[in-house]
Amino acid sequence: MGTQAGPGGADRPPRVVIADDQALVRTGFGMILTADGIDVVGEATDGEEAVAAVRRTLPDVVLMDIRMPGMDGLEATRRLLGPDGGTPGPGAPRVVILTTYDLDQYVYAALAAGASGFLLKDVTPEHLAAAVRLVRSGDALLAPSITRRLVERFATRDDHAARLHRDLSALTPRELEVLESLARGHSNAELAARFRLSEATVKTHVARILAKLQLRDRAQAVIAAYETGLITPGSRQPPPAP
């Protein structure tokens, strides 16, 4: 899923902008990524600089600190990806939120605005580089247990959210079951075992769910499942239909 930003395609190194008000974070992350063959094409100290850097350099991925002076990372994400976190236009980058706290209401808001995942700032060098490549490929960066707790703490069901994420009646009964399980943090392998399907079939179901609901990745699907009331915080998952 997703659109490659900037010139070229998947055969070139990912292009990254790092937005953080701490020089040590920008320098450290830049060195790690450069050593791993990833091109750091811009840096920013606040959200306004981040938006300008993205428009100037057309990166694939933005590493966005959520808490910065002036325009914060949440507002910058909204400006880059649109107000409702829908499918991005051509050239839109993937945004990964940088945070010190795994359960942060601003991280949840950024995911709802279209961010493809989040990383704690104490991430290992190997995980940082792998995360950039993962979201560049079009996948979402989700630690299932943390993401589920994050969404359950901050998600609310309301008519506005339901409108943003379209009508779930467009989904088949099986797609609804897959979306519910996906939103609880299950991997493709776990979904395949649960529904007695091949992983290829699961991927097809997920792709159709994203297309029908006009969502960009699994992170957005998790948000949609909670905000439209398909599942509610603390609810237990029913057994799969025969």
The mean per-residue pLDDT over the stretch 115-122 comes to 88
Is pLDDT at 169 greater than 80 in this prediction? Answer: yes
Measuring CA to CA, how many Å separate 108 from each of 56, 137, 181, 204, 240? 27, 22, 19, 27, 28
**Model confidence, pTM:** 0.74
Confidence of residue 87 (pLDDT cuts 50, 70, 90): very low
Confidence of residue 1 (pLDDT cuts 50, 70, 90): very low
Is pLDDT at 166 greater than 60 in this prediction? Answer: no
Q: For position 182, what pLDDT does the model report?
A: 86
Note whether 130 and 151 are within 8 A (CB).
no
Is pLDDT at 6 greater than 60 in this prediction? Answer: no
Q: How far is 199 from 222, CA to CA, in rounded Å?
A: 19
Note whether 10 and 109 are within 8 A (CB).
no
Is pLDDT at 24 greater than 90 in this prediction? Answer: yes
Q: How far is 14 from 153, CA to CA, in rounded Å?
A: 33
The mean per-residue pLDDT over the stretch 175-179 comes to 93
Q: For position 231, what pLDDT does the model report?
A: 78
DSSP the chain: -----SSS-TTS--EEEEE-S-HHHHHHHHHHHHHTT-EEEEEESSHHHHHHHHHHH--SEEEEES--SSS-HHHHHHHHH-TT-----TTPPEEEEEES-SS-HHHHHHHHHT--EEEETT--HHHHHHHHHHHHTT--B--HHHHHHHHHHH----HHHHHHT--GGGS-HHHHHHHHHHHTT--HHHHHHHHT--HHHHHHHHHHHHHHHT--SHHHHHHHHHHTTSS-TTPPPPPPP-
Q: For position 37, what pLDDT does the model report?
A: 96
- Which of 26-35, 133-142, 171-180 has maximum average pLDDT? 26-35
Is pLDDT at 70 greater than 90 in this prediction? Answer: yes
What is the number of other CB atoms lying within 10 angstroms of the CB of residue 120?
Answer: 15
Residue with tokens 């974070």: 25
pLDDT tens-place string over residues 185-195: 787 888 899 99
- Max CA distance (Å), the chain: 55
Percentage of residues in the chain with pLDDT exceeding 70? 80
State the average pLDDT for the chain. 82
Q: For position 16, what pLDDT does the model report?
A: 98
Q: For position 156, what pLDDT does the model report?
A: 65
Note whether 213 and 170 are within 8 A (CB).
yes
The mean per-residue pLDDT over the stretch 123-128 comes to 92
Q: For position 4, what pLDDT does the model report?
A: 41
pLDDT tens-place string over residues 217-237: 887 888 888 878 887 766 556
Q: At what angle do helices 105-113 and 218-227 cross, to 10 degrees?
A: 110
- Domains assigned to the chain: 15-151 (3.40.50.2300), 158-227 (1.10.10.10)
Confidence of residue 241 (pLDDT cuts 50, 70, 90): low
Length, in residues, of the chain: 242
Is pLDDT at 116 greater than 70 in this prediction? Answer: yes
